[in-house]
Amino acid sequence: MHSKSLHLLVAAFALFATLTVAVPLSSSLSDDGTPRRRALANIIDLDLERRALSQLQVNQKAAAIMREQKNIKKAKKVSKRNGEKFKKGRDYKGPLSGVGDSDKTRVHNSLKGAGNKHKVTQNLPGRKDTFKDHGVSRTGKAARVAVFNSHLHSSAPLGAVTPVSAGQPKHFGNFRYRLNHPNASLRGGKPLPNAPSNHPGVKEFPVVDKKQYPVGYHIGEQKGTARVITGPHQYNDANGKKVQGYKLHGMVTHTKANDKDHYKMQHYPHRPPSHYPGADFGRPETPKPKPGAPKSLPARPKTPPPPRSNAWIKKSKT
């Protein structure tokens, strides 16, 4: 027992001596005149400051870049309107200030990955389209932003506190309505008839007012009741090659914030419905005539043209 304790004591002394020789207290100075131990401490502090971000933080940094670009674009328009030259300012610090190079690459890859998924998403609505139901209205542009954010945050859902909350985006069951539903026409049916039920890849994500939240829903903002529903989808591209992409199944809403039932929002496309094959989209909205506008006259029936004559042929002189 005594011999074992002696061996441990000798090993501890040898380790201390090695560390003392490698990093002297003050006799050995670094190139800039500071003690090497203090320089080593500075490196450790810098490493702690730039420690690796979680995937949730990476995605939030990516969202902050989108928000910043939107604000800069708006500021540039104001400066141009006032005849001034836009300047960021001397003390300007972007969302990636203090972030290490490896995490900057992760943020860039997060944005790029969401963009690539967005490119292979089918049935994206036109920016001028409208979705309406139960007094809720959302534009096609807001829906497109929500689809992009759903792809961006799919790797680390916003506000996820497992198992209390699943976060956003979260699973969308598309379960059938109960048989005693107050609306008899909905009993036994699904909110989105063409979408699968209880598919693990089908997700929902909040669609917020585009004017109030230009870059979509993020943590700390009101989610509202509208949701875009997306899921994996395989389709053929223009060359007939199979592409594993995604599909926008439609948009749903709640009648109340605490209502568990989802209801399909009617889609009023700016383009004809044939532009969105296989989606749960509604009829096109009929444009209302402006007040005071003249009513269009009925088309005149087409009459066959008169028979051609040979009057244009010059007669020869005799």
pLDDT tens-digit series, residues 237-260 = 888 889 899 999 999 998 765 678
| The pLDDT value given to residue 12 | 64
Q: What mean pLDDT value characterizes the chain?
A: 76
- For residue range 61-103, what is the model confidence (pLDDT) as tens digits? 888 888 888 777 777 888 888 888 777 665 566 788 788 888 8
Paired tokens of 279: 């989606």
Q: What's the 3-state SS for the chain? A: CHHHHHHHHHHHHHHHHHHHHHCCCCCCECCCCCEHHHHHHHHHHHHHHCCCCCHHHHHHHHHHHHHHHHHHHHHHHHHHHCCCCCCCCCCCCCCCCCCCHHHHHHHHHHHHHHHHHHHCEECCCCCCCEEEECCEEEEHHHHHHHHHHHHHCCCCCECCECCCECCECEECCCCCCCCCCCCHHHCCCCCCCCCCCCCCCCEEEECCCCCCCCCCCCCCCCCCCCEEEEEEEEEECCCCCEEEEEEEEEEEECCCCCCCCCEECEEECCCCHHHCCCCCCCCCCCCCCCCCCCCCCCCCCCCCCCCCCCCCCCCCCC
Best CA proximity match to 225, nearest among 248, 206, 211, 251 = 206
What residue type is 164 in one-letter code? V
Q: Examine the pLDDT at 30 and tell me if it is beyond 90.
A: no
| The pLDDT value given to residue 15 | 57
Mean of pLDDT values over 38-67: 69
Share of the chain above pLDDT 90, in %: 29
- For residue range 276-311, what is the model confidence (pLDDT) as tens digits? 555 665 444 444 555 665 555 566 666 776 666 655
| The pLDDT value given to residue 43 | 46
Burial (CB < 10 A; 0-12, 13-18, 19+), residue 179, is exposed
Q: Is the peptide bond before 277 cis (omega within 30 degrees of 0)?
A: no
| The pLDDT value given to residue 85 | 78
> Comparing 268 with 272, which gets the higher pLDDT?
268
What residues are paired with 267 via a beta bridge? 131
